[in-house]
Amino acid sequence: MIAVSPTDLEIYLFHEGSLYKSYELFGAHVVEQNDVVGTRFCVWAPHARQVRLVGSFNEWNGTNFNLVKVSDQGVWTIFIPENLEGHLYKYEITTNDGNVVLKADPYAFYSELRPRTASIVYNIKGYQWNDQTWRRKKQRKRIYDQPLFIYELHFGSWKKKEDGSFYTYREMADELIPYVIEHGFTHIELLPLVEHPFDRSWGYQGTGYYSATSRYGTPHDFMHFIDRCHQAGIGVILDWVPGHFCKDAHGLYMFDGAPTYEYANMQDRENHVWGTANFDLGRPEVRSFLISNALFWIEYFHIDGFRVDAVANMLYWPNSDVAHKNPYAVQFLQKLNETVFAYDPSILMIAEDSTEWPLVTAPTYNGGLGFNYKWNMGWMNDILTYMETAPERRKYAHNKVTFSLLYAYSENFILPFSHDEVVHGKKSLLNKMPGTYEEKFAQLRLLYGYLLTHPGKKLLFMGGEFAQFDEWKDLEQLDWMLFDFEMHQKINVYVKELLKWYKRCKSLYELDHSPDGFEWIDVHNAEQSIFSFVRRGKKENDLLVVVCNFTNKVYHDYKVGVPLFAKYREIINSDAAKFGGWGNVNAKPVAAVKEPFHGKPYHIRMTVPPFAISILRPVKKRGDGSIDGKEKVHRHVIGGRTR
């Protein structure tokens, strides 16, 4: 129950930086006391001389609507004895130097459709959820040893109506969810959906951190979308930006005429790269605001996780020639993660960090930042650089493929092919591949297969699943007409097949974060640019043999060392004709020979297709699940690290 007046404890905790449900104190709340229904407004404006409430209920005239200052550090409040739900409002703030500014509510639950900028009184409560089965299941399973393949998308440009308008949250549930299920993705990740004034910021420059953008409907409409995702078994991750915010006049910037949410020092405040302002992460009230915001999306929208944007921008002070660490950011991120996991241990907290900062996914009690996942930007950059290298020269860039396994278990990694890699002249993933039309598709299939089989969870940006030829055009929908072309149809079939086997083969995800889950067979064949390795599950004989050929040459009767004496059946070959390949497949199981090779006790002879990946698994006997001709295998066990 929201009280008519803020309590002393709420105010104390807010100024201390530990009011983690500050959205219950601030913003606009319809409340009832002594049979009187009214609306309470509360705002933090520490430098203001005066704060008045203006809106559609008083013809935007703040006379007689003065807020009362209830804290020496700038908490202001007013109670209007009327239910103002649905009304527009702003705060009219008189600054210390006598200027008057009109500001939207930082804690507003709903906002006007851009370009209008007023806040809207909205009852965030009352939505009837139907995702109890999903939430119970999520609590029972540890994500570390479960499949996690994320489909990243921008809500406004995934698909548009014929007239170019957006699908609403409710309409998108009907459009998107069947598509995600059909492909087999486990989660979707939505580019930021906080209210933001400029479409082309994609939500990364927000003003309303507590407002689901009104571009696509109401907050309850967005809850409906998430609810439907959960009922279909799809997790929902939000892109979230606690590092910086836009400088539009109605937003957080210079909120009461002086630095409030941003650093007071201009060198620390200004983010010249994006034209934004950096949050003052050392200010207690800002910590209350941001940590509360994470809990708000979890509590009211049942969000399953956050991809925390631009962590490097927080960890290091901006505008400096030297990499100076920001201790406030470290403390904030640690407290953020501790608080979120105390509230819900199943949440995904994913750091988008491009630096070598250590222990990003280690627990805070071990000196870590406390995230449970980190994007592997090094792997992504290395493998894309390797793929863009002319095939005949890849032997000179061999270490671009091998290097990632030297640090693959230093953090809990997600392997991302995200929106950042297909915009601003970087070309689409397909168009990064060298060679002819057919060779581009072949190498993209190989790249996706390598993504699937490399240790770590996975992420793919929208359009990649059918090989979008152009880079992302954020004002248009995806090029759905490409489904009229055979090669795009076939690579889409291939992606679906990859995800089917990904979820079917525990060896592809159970030991993602343990060295026990990966073992090189041949890592030294730079001359032919062929790599072979084993992926393992928790059970001793649960394994796959993977062979990748990054050149356009085909090899028949190619010898590969294997760990088990068994027949091996090819479950995926990216060169199969049904995927658009040339058809160099191993149609029949290949039998192991009792002769050591590649440091393994046995070997097989197989066809290695050009620009392709082959994934083989031991054939099991019917009935007992054992391997044909099973012989004892000795494995060196090294304890892996997960949270």
CA distances in angstroms from 303 to 36, 120, 239, 344, listed in the order given? 34, 23, 11, 11
- Rounded CA-CA distance 468/478 in Å is 8
Residue 57 C-alpha from the chain's centroid: 40
Mean pLDDT computed over 294-306: 98
Task: Take residue 363 and report the two structure tokens written for it.
Answer: 């627990």
CATH fold of the domain at 8-120: Immunoglobulin-like (2.60.40)
Of 636 and 622, the structure prediction assigns the larger pLDDT to 622
Share of the chain above pLDDT 90, in %: 93
**Phi and psi for 296 in degrees, rounded to 5?**
-60, -50
pLDDT band, very low/low/confident/very high, at 626 (cuts 50, 70, 90): very low
CATH superfamily of 148-254+280-507: Glycosidases (3.20.20.80)
Q: Which CATH fold topology does 516-618 show?
A: Immunoglobulin-like (2.60.40)
Q: What is the set of active-site residues?
A: 309, 352
pLDDT at 565: 97
In order, the DSSP letters of 275-310 are TEEEB-TTSHHHHHHHHHHHHHHHHHH---EEEETT
**What is the per-residue pLDDT across 319-328, written as a single tens digit (0 to 9) for each?**
877 779 999 9
Same fold, 8-120 and 148-254+280-507: no
Any alpha helices (H) in 389-466, and if so which ranges?
399-402, 429-432, 437-453
> Taking the chain, what is the end-to-end CA distance rounded to the nearest angstrom?
36
pLDDT value, residue 455: 98
Q: What is the pLDDT of residues 425-471, one digit of tens each?
A: 999 999 999 999 999 999 999 999 999 999 999 999 999 999 999 99
Mean pLDDT within 203-226: 98
Q: Where are the domains of the chain?
A: 8-120, 148-254+280-507, 516-618
8 A C-beta contact, residue 308 and residue 36:
no
